[in-house]
Amino acid sequence: MAMNGVLRPGHAALRVLDLEEAVNFYGNVLGLQETGRDKQWRVYFKAWDERDHNSVVIREADKAGIDFFAFKVDGKKTLEKLDADLRAYGVSTERIPAGEMLETGERVRFQVPSGHMIELYAEKKDVGNGISYVNPDPWSAASEKGIAPTRLDHCLLYGPDIEKVQKLFEEVLGFYLVEHIVLEDNKTDLAIWLSTSIKAHDIAFVRHPEPGKLHHVAFLLDSWERVLRAADLMSMNHVSIDIGPTRHGVTRGTTIYAFDPSGNRFETFCGGYQTYPDHQPLKWTMDEVGTGIFYHDRKLNDRFLSVVT
Amino acid sequence: MAMNGVLRPGHAALRVLDLEEAVNFYGNVLGLQETGRDKQWRVYFKAWDERDHNSVVIREADKAGIDFFAFKVDGKKTLEKLDADLRAYGVSTERIPAGEMLETGERVRFQVPSGHMIELYAEKKDVGNGISYVNPDPWSAASEKGIAPTRLDHCLLYGPDIEKVQKLFEEVLGFYLVEHIVLEDNKTDLAIWLSTSIKAHDIAFVRHPEPGKLHHVAFLLDSWERVLRAADLMSMNHVSIDIGPTRHGVTRGTTIYAFDPSGNRFETFCGGYQTYPDHQPLKWTMDEVGTGIFYHDRKLNDRFLSVVT
Amino acid sequence: MAMNGVLRPGHAALRVLDLEEAVNFYGNVLGLQETGRDKQWRVYFKAWDERDHNSVVIREADKAGIDFFAFKVDGKKTLEKLDADLRAYGVSTERIPAGEMLETGERVRFQVPSGHMIELYAEKKDVGNGISYVNPDPWSAASEKGIAPTRLDHCLLYGPDIEKVQKLFEEVLGFYLVEHIVLEDNKTDLAIWLSTSIKAHDIAFVRHPEPGKLHHVAFLLDSWERVLRAADLMSMNHVSIDIGPTRHGVTRGTTIYAFDPSGNRFETFCGGYQTYPDHQPLKWTMDEVGTGIFYHDRKLNDRFLSVVT
Amino acid sequence: MAMNGVLRPGHAALRVLDLEEAVNFYGNVLGLQETGRDKQWRVYFKAWDERDHNSVVIREADKAGIDFFAFKVDGKKTLEKLDADLRAYGVSTERIPAGEMLETGERVRFQVPSGHMIELYAEKKDVGNGISYVNPDPWSAASEKGIAPTRLDHCLLYGPDIEKVQKLFEEVLGFYLVEHIVLEDNKTDLAIWLSTSIKAHDIAFVRHPEPGKLHHVAFLLDSWERVLRAADLMSMNHVSIDIGPTRHGVTRGTTIYAFDPSGNRFETFCGGYQTYPDHQPLKWTMDEVGTGIFYHDRKLNDRFLSVVT
C-alpha cells in the first residue's frame, strides 16, 4: 500500500512498427487521447479518465516491445529516497532530466534482473480528465470514443530471475506479492503478481529465458458490459483477439487479450478484487495453471507462454 | 495511500433495538456471515469475501447508532507508533485488550472532534473467505446468500468540527481529502470524503450540530446488476429503502441507501473511481449539492440531512 | 401473438410546446434519428435500430399530449380485413391516404372508448438501421448518440371505459391481457397491459375520468447498464426525471420515467419477461399496487396517477 | 408471429449416456427443476421461469442426441388444423396420446426432411413458476440455483435438405426466415434461422449430410452478467466449454456453447434482437461466416461444423 511512496503505474513506452498505424490504433480503436508529439517523433497518449499528461508513449522501431515502464511516486523527496535506496541495494540508476518526456519531471531509471527498464518519477502535468474538478459529471463523451479504458493499469513482463525482481520490488519499492504460480518443484515461481496499492496487480512477471520481453500492457474498463463492448469494437476494427472475453482465475478479473497492429499484446479488463498487504498471497499450482490464467477454458492457449514482444 | 500504515476499515460496532431481528436482517437479508457471539451478547459478522473474523458487530441497546468504527493497521509496530502520534497530537487514547472482541487483537481507541469513537488494531484472525487460498475459484455459493456484499467499505458520520477531524485524519493517520462540499461562504466544508487507500472514501463526515451520529455504514457490491439484485431483495424482504438504485455524483458510485430494522441507515453500493493522493480534491458547491449526492434526482431528499442514528 | 396480423407499435404522434426545443431533445438527448420534416411542420424520428422510416412524429401545439398511436400490420390484406372487422364491431374508421405521413402507407384510424385515436397501417419505407443487411455488425456508432433506445416499444394511455378498450383490442385486434390491477371491488380493472406479441406489453391503459390522455411513450434499452447510462445522460442534460432507475413489479422491467421539455412523460426501460397468450394473466391487488408499479419503493409517487398530458 | 398458431418451443427430448449423471447435470449444474419421472425411466425438467410442466426430457441410451423437439400451439383447434395442413402438404403425422409424456396433452409428431422428429401439442399442465400469479415478485431463489436459465429457447439441428425444411416451416407452420448463411454459389443456404415469434430464432438448421443430428439446445439467460456467471459455474463444475463467453454475429446474442456429460452441446445465451416478419432477412456470406457465428474470434472453431450428436 504505497508504504514506500510508490503510487501507481505512470507510463509505458512502447515500440511500434508503423507509427501512423499505431497512432490510429491507440487513438481511434483503443480510444486513448493523443496529448502530444515530441522531437524524437514519440507520440503521447493518456486514457480519458487519467489526469496526468501521458500514460502511453509510442515510437517507431524495427522491433515491437517495451522500452520502459514507469511508476509515479508521491513527491520529489520520495524520488530522491528511492534512488538512494536502489543504489544502496546495488542497483545502478540513471537520471533522465525533466522535460525529456513531454510535461514529465525528472525520472530515475534502472534495470531489474528480468532485463526490463523501470522508471520512477514524481511529477507530470495535470491536464485534467475532461471533467470539471468542481461539481463533476461522472463521465464524459470521451469515455465512449473507441474502447476508451479509464486508465493504464498494469503490465505483465517476461524475463529471467523473477525471484530477484520480486525481492527488489518488495524490499526497495514496497510492493507485496498478491498471487503466484509455483512450478512442480513447489518452490520456484513461474509467475508473480505484485501490488503497491489495493489493486490485485500493479505489475507482474513471468519467468522466461529471454530478458526484457513484454507480455501485455493492461487498461482498465468499468464493467463486464464494457468488456463486451471492447470485444465488439475489436471485431469491428479487425483487431486480432488473443482470447476473451473471459475471466482470469488469478485476480478474478474479466478480460480480453488482443494485439496492437505491431503485435504488442494488450489487455482490456475489468474488476479483480481489492487486496491488502496483510492478505496471504494466493497460490496456483501447475496442474491448475490453465484455470488460473483462463478460468473458463481451464487451459492455456499456445500463445500465452510463447508470444511476447 | 496508507502512508502511515492504516490499511482499511476493519469493523463497525452498531447498536440495534432488537437483537434477533437484527441477526436475521444482517445474516439473511444483507447476507453477512455470523462468525460468533460473545459474553456481552454481541453478535459478530463478516462479509463473504472478507478474510478477517469480523467486520460488523451488533449489540442490543435502547437507541440505535454506532459505538465505534475501526481501522486495521499494517502491524503492531504501526499500532504503537500511531498511538504515540495520537497522544503527541493531543488525543487521549485508550487500550482495549486483545480478546475483548472475539479473535481481535489489542485496539487503540480515541474520540475524534465530531464525537465519534475510532479504533485502530493490527491483528484479527484470518478465518478465510470460504475459498481455498490455493487455486481459488472467483466466488462461492456464499456470494449469493442474501444481498451478500463483498466487504464493509466505509462509513459516513455526522458531527461537529469536521475540519478538526480532517486535520487529525490527515496529519496523524495519513488519510487524504478526495472530495468535499463547500458551504456558501466558499471556505467551510459541509462534508468531506477521506481515503487511506485508492478507494474514493474510507471514511466521510458531514457537519452536524449533534456529535457522534451515524449516517450510514457502507457495503461493497461488485456490479450495477448486483445493486439491482440488492434492491429487489430489499423489496422482497420489506426493507425500507431511503433512495436508490441511483448514482452519487460524489465518488461516481452507484448506490442504494436503506435502513436496518432499528433505523440504522446502510448503503449497498458499487464502483466509485480509484484515486490517489496526488489528485486534486473534487469540490462541490451548495447550488449543486443535490447533484453531488443524488446524481439522477439532482436534489437531496429530506431524510439525507436529518435522519441519523 | 399477432394472431390477427397486428405486428407492433409503429408510431406515436406527439404534441410539443416548442418544436425546436423538442427536436433537440428527441434528437440529441433521447438520441432518436431525425428522418424528415413535412409541410405540416411535423418532424419525424426513428430509433437507431428501427428499420422503418419513422416511429415518433412531433408537431408544435398549445397543449402537449398524444394525437394518435399506430400499429403496423402484416400486409394490406390484413389492413382491409381489420378495417372491416372494426366496422363490423361498430367502430367508425377513417382512411388516411398514403403519403399523408412521410414514407408511410394508407392508415386506418379509429377512436377507442378511452378517447384515444389508434391507427393501423401496413406499409412504411424500410430506410435501414444503419447496418448492412449482409454480414451485419451487432451495433453501430448511432447506438451511442444520446440515450439511443433501440426502438419505440409501447405506450400507456389514460382514459375511461378501459374494459371496453380491452374487449376491442382482444376481440378485433387479437391482443391478449398480460397483467392487470384490480380495484378493491375485485372485479373492476384499474389498469391493463395488453400484448400482440411475446412482449409483456404493446399497449397499456389506466382508468381515468378524462379521455385521451397520455401517461407515457416507452423506448427500449438493451440492458440495465444502459438504463444507468440513460439516467446519467438525463442528469447531464437536466431532463426532469419522474422516477428511476428502478424496477417495475408489473412486467419486471427496469425503468426510468422522465419528461420531455413539453411535459410529456416518456420511459426508457429494459427487459420485462416474454409472455404468451396461453399464460394466465398476472393480477395485482390495490394493497400491492405500489409494489406493482415501483417495485423498490413499494409505493406510488403522487405524479404517477395524476400527471398526464 | 404465430400467424398459424404455433407459439413456442415446448420441449426437447434428449438422449444421455448415464441417466443419474445427467440428472445431476441438468438439475444442479444447469439448474433446471426436476418435475417428474415416468415409467419409461424418462426424467422431466423445466426452467425456473417456465410455467408448463416440462421443457427438457431425458432418457438413457447408447448414443447421445435428440429424439424430438416440440412446439406448443395455441389450442386444440390449431393442433387439428396443423395436423390436417401437414398431411395436406404431404407429411405423414403420428398421434401420440395425451399422457404419454407426463402432464402433456396429445402430440402430433412428424419427420422433417432433415431427418428430425418434430412435435406439436396444445396442452401441458401449468405448474407455475414458483412465484404467485397475484402480486408476483420478479424472481425467486430458484433463479439462483445453478446456471438457472429462464427457459428453453430454441435448438439448432443438423441435417440434409434444409431448403425443404424451411419451406415446410414457412408454408405450413407459419415461421419466417430471420437470418441465413449462403454458400459460395450465392443461392444455397448453409444455415437458416427461423422464428414463429419476435425472437431472433425459435429453431435453426445447418445443412449436413447426416440426418437427424443435434448441434445444440439453447437456454435463455437474462443478462450478459448471467452469461459470465454461467461460464463461472461451468468451470466450477468442470463442464466442457466449447466456446464463450462471446457474441454471435447472427442474432447479436451473447453466448456460451458447452457440452453436457453425454456430449450433447447446449447453449446458454442472452439477448438477440427482436424481429418481425416484415423485416428483410439478414444474410451472411461464406467469407464472413466465422464472424457471423463467433463475432469476436471472426473464425469458426473446428468443432462447430463437425461435432454433433
Q: How far apart, in Å, are the Cα atoms of D156 and each of B247, D60, D206, D212?
A: 42, 21, 7, 11
Of the partner residues D5, D278, D285, the one whose CB lies closest to the CB of residue C135 = D285
- D 225-284 residues with CB < 8 A to A: 225, 228, 231-232, 234-235, 238, 241, 244-247, 254, 256
| CA–CA dist C308, C116 (Å, integer) | 13
| CA–CA dist A55, A177 (Å, integer) | 24
| CA–CA dist A57, D235 (Å, integer) | 38
| pLDDT value, residue B1 | 54
- A223 has a chain C CB within 8 A of its CB: yes
Nearest Cα residue to C208 out of C175, C252, C161, C242: C161
* Segment D225-283, tens digit of pLDDT: 999 999 999 999 999 999 999 999 999 999 999 999 999 999 999 999 999 999 999 99
* Segment C136-193, tens digit of pLDDT: 999 999 999 999 999 999 999 999 999 999 999 999 999 999 999 999 999 999 999 9
Nearest Cα residue to D269 out of D215, D208, D220: D220
Nearest Cα residue to D287 out of D300, D306, D275, D303: D300
Nearest Cα residue to C201 out of C265, C273, C286: C273
* Segment D185-234, tens digit of pLDDT: 999 999 999 999 999 999 999 999 999 999 999 999 999 999 999 999 99
Under a CB-based contact definition with an 8 Å cutoff, are residues B220 and B206 in contact?
no
What lies within 8 Å, CB to CB, of C135 at 6+ separation is D249, D283, D284, D285, D288, D291, D292
Q: Determine phi and psi for B84, rounding to 5 degrees.
A: -65, -45
- Known catalytic membership, residue C279: no
In this predicted structure, the answer to whether residue D179 has a pLDDT above a threshold of 70 is yes
- D188 has a chain C CB within 8 A of its CB: no
Enumerate the residues of chain C whose CB falls inside 8 A of the CB of residue B235. Answer: 291, 295-296, 298
Q: Is the dihedral of CA C166, C170, C175, C178 positive or negative?
A: positive
- State ipTM: 0.96
Residue D210: exposure state from Cβ atoms within 10 A (0-12, 13-18, ≥19):
exposed
| CA–CA dist B227, B303 (Å, integer) | 21
Grid coordinates belonging to C95: 382512411
Under a CB-based contact definition with an 8 Å cutoff, are residues A192 and A180 in contact?
yes
> 0.90 exceeded by the pTM?
yes
Average pLDDT of chain D, as a whole number: 97
Contact C137 A225 (CB under 8 A): no
- C132 has a chain A CB within 8 A of its CB: no
Neighbours of chain D (3+ CB pairs under 8 A): A, B, C
In this predicted structure, the answer to whether residue D2 has a pLDDT above a threshold of 80 is no
| CA–CA dist B298, B296 (Å, integer) | 5
What lies within 8 Å, CB to CB, of B199 at 6+ separation is A198, A274, B153, B154, B272, B274, B275
| pLDDT value, residue A1 | 54
The C282-285 sheet, strands edge to edge: C240-247, C254-259, C265-270, C213-221, C151-159, C203-207, C189-195, C176-182, C282-285
Report chain B (309 residues): mean pLDDT per 10 consecutive residues: 86 98 98 98 98 98 98 98 98 98 98 98 98 98 97 98 98 98 97 97 97 98 98 98 97 98 98 96 97 94 88
Contact A136 B223 (CB under 8 A): no
The kind and range of the H/E element at B224 are: helix B224-236
Under a CB-based contact definition with an 8 Å cutoff, are residues D45 and D56 in contact?
yes
Q: How far is C54 from chain D (nearest CA, A)?
A: 15
* Segment B186-231, tens digit of pLDDT: 999 999 999 999 999 999 999 999 999 999 999 999 999 999 999 9
Instruction: Give me the half-sphere count of Cα atoms (radius 13 Å) on the Cβ side of residue B30.
Output: 36
Under a CB-based contact definition with an 8 Å cutoff, are residues C251 and C274 in contact?
no
Task: Tell me the domains of chain C and their CATH numbers.
Answer: 6-127 (3.10.180.10), 151-306 (3.10.180.10)
Contact A231 D254 (CB under 8 A): no
What lies within 8 Å, CB to CB, of D296 at 6+ separation is A231, A232, A234, A235, A241, A244, A245, A256, D246, D247
* Segment A129-161, tens digit of pLDDT: 999 999 999 999 999 999 999 999 999 999 999
Best to test chain D binding among A246, A296, A303 (most D CBs inside 10 Å): A296
Best to test chain B binding among C237, C239, C250, C296 (most B CBs inside 10 Å): C296
Grid coordinates belonging to D191: 444455415
Grid coordinates belonging to D126: 401449468
* Segment B118-156, tens digit of pLDDT: 999 999 999 999 999 999 999 999 999 999 999 999 999
Grid coordinates belonging to C237: 442534460
Of the partner residues B224, B238, B241, the one whose CB lies closest to the CB of residue C297 = B241
Under a CB-based contact definition with an 8 Å cutoff, are residues C101 and C93 in contact?
no
Q: How far apart, in Å, are the Cα atoms of D276 and each of A292, D195, D281?
A: 44, 9, 10
* AA identity, residue B128: G
DSSP B281: P
Q: Can you point out the beta strands (E) in C183-264?
A: 189-195, 203-207, 213-221, 240-247, 254-259
* AA identity, residue C306: S
Q: Which residue has the cell 496483510?
A: A278
Alpha helices in A133-176 (DSSP H): 162-171
What is the CA angle B170-A278-A220, rounded to 5?
A: 75
Best to test chain C binding among D1, D152, D293 (most C CBs inside 10 Å): D1
| pLDDT value, residue C306 | 86
Enumerate the residues of chain A whose CB falls inside 8 A of the CB of residue B279. Answer: 51
Buried b (16+ CB within 10 A) or exposed e, C234-249: bbbeebebbbbbbbbb
| CA–CA dist A176, A172 (Å, integer) | 11
Grid coordinates belonging to D240: 466442457
- Per DSSP bridges, beta strands D65-73 and D56-60 are unpaired
- A138 has a chain C CB within 8 A of its CB: yes
* Segment D97-115, tens digit of pLDDT: 999 999 999 999 999 999 9
Instruction: Give me the half-sphere count of Cα atoms (radius 13 Å) on the Cβ side of residue A23.
Output: 13
- Known catalytic membership, residue D257: yes
Buried b (16+ CB within 10 A) or exposed e, C29-48: bbbbbebbeeeeebbbbbbb
Grid coordinates belonging to B247: 448514482
Enumerate the residues of chain B whose CB falls inside 8 A of the CB of residue D28. Answer: none
What lies within 8 Å, CB to CB, of A99 at 6+ separation is none
Contact C296 B244 (CB under 8 A): yes
Enumerate the residues of chain B whose CB falls inside 8 A of the CB of residue C298. Answer: 235, 238
Confidence of residue A305 (pLDDT cuts 50, 70, 90): confident
DSSP C126: B
| pLDDT value, residue A181 | 98
Q: What is the dihedral of CA D9, D13, D17, D20, to 10 degrees?
A: 90
What is the CA angle D116-D120-D125, rounded to 5?
A: 125
- Known catalytic membership, residue C53: no
Alpha helices in A54-154 (DSSP H): 76-89
Of the partner residues A2, A49, A223, the one whose CB lies closest to the CB of residue B273 = A49
Neighbours of chain C (3+ CB pairs under 8 A): A, B, D
Contact A225 D224 (CB under 8 A): yes
Confidence of residue A89 (pLDDT cuts 50, 70, 90): very high
Of the partner residues B137, B223, B236, the one whose CB lies closest to the CB of residue D236 = B137
Contact A134 B247 (CB under 8 A): no
Contact B245 C241 (CB under 8 A): no
Residue A27: exposure state from Cβ atoms within 10 A (0-12, 13-18, ≥19):
middle
Contact C137 A236 (CB under 8 A): yes
Q: Which residues of A are catalytic?
A: 154, 201, 216, 248, 257, 267
Nearest Cα residue to D195 out of D219, D170, D213, D214: D170
In this predicted structure, the answer to whether residue A241 has a pLDDT above a threshold of 80 is yes
Neighbours of chain A (3+ CB pairs under 8 A): B, C, D
Helix, strand, coil share of chain B (percent; to 5): 20, 40, 40
Average pLDDT of chain B, as a whole number: 97
| CA–CA dist C291, C286 (Å, integer) | 10
